Amino acid sequence: MILVSGSGKLAKELEKLSTKSLPINILSRKEMDITNEYEVSNVMKDLMMKPDYPKYFIHTAALTKPMDVNDRNPLMSLDTNIVGTANVAKMCSKYGIKFVYISTDFVYGDKELVDEESEVKPSNNYGWSKLGGECITKLIEGSLILRCSLCDIPFRHKVAFNDVFRNSITHKDVANIILKVKDEVGIINVGGKYQSVYSFVSNYQTVKKGNGSHIAPTLKLSTKKLDSIINE
């Protein structure tokens, strides 16, 4: 069984991939508040007593939207993205569950081209909080960190930037990739074609074109490592 923390888009896309041979169960905040160490410990203890106990834990729960909430309320960001990650990671380590941490390409900041060995230097509190979660994950033996360039579809904003370029990818595509790489160890960049945010969104819906390089960074991910794994 695979456990997934959170109830956002990625968690829901993963749940759709559940099968009899590989069931995927979602733990929403109502079922397990990751910021409550005692609650996490009790829930995980109960789950490990079941015959079909979890072999994998995919940690998607995070404080992400709106992204600037991490700047306006850094303590909430710390509680959810760092302390919450630590609470879950400790239980995975205790019970020998494979821990898969969903991170972000925002840990790199604003750079021309980055691979998994590139320097990390976040440009906002969201990136720093997710990097904090990565530090915790690296302490867990056999863990996996996926640095994703996720973009919401349907797109939530009225304007998509034509001067900001990224390797945007949908939650649906990332969910499928997670199941293919879940047994890997280390760090993997996860993204799609390098293009403007406007071009990416236009593949799915009509949206106004605008400029936003003064707001959002351009970043080009190297996905050679991911491609080699997928194409094996």
d(CA 187, CA 63): 21
Element (H, E) at 184: none
At residue 66, does pLDDT exceed 80? no
Query: Residue 74: what pLDDT?
Result: 85
Mean pLDDT for 134-163 is 96
Q: Which tens digits make up the pLDDT trace of 169-217? A: 999 999 999 999 999 999 999 999 999 999 999 999 999 999 998 888 8
The backbone torsions φ and ψ at residue 223, rounded to the nearest 5 degrees and listed phi first, read: -115, 25
Note the pLDDT tens digit of each residue in 83-101.
999 999 999 999 999 999 9
Range with the poorest average pLDDT among 38-52, 66-80, 104-118, 197-211: 66-80
Percent of the chain with pLDDT over 70: 99
For 5-20, the pLDDT digits (tens) are 999 999 999 999 999 9
Mean pLDDT of the chain: 94
For the domain 2-154+168-194, what is the CATH code?
Answer: 3.40.50.720
Structure token pair of residue 107: 């840990």
**Global confidence as pTM:** 0.95
Beta-strand pair 159-161/98-104: unpaired
Q: Give residue 213's pLDDT.
A: 85
- 156: pLDDT strictly greater than 70: yes
Taking alpha carbons only, the member of 99, 10, 11, 15 closest to residue 57 is 99
70 has a pLDDT exceeding 70 = yes
Alpha helices in the chain (DSSP H): 9-16, 37-48, 69-72, 74-77, 84-95, 125-138, 171-181, 197-202, 224-230
Please write the tens of the pLDDT for every residue from 218-230: 899 999 999 999 9
| Separation CA 227–CA 184 (nearest Å) | 13
CA angle 114, 118, 122 (to 5 degrees): 85
pLDDT reading at 82 higher than 80: yes
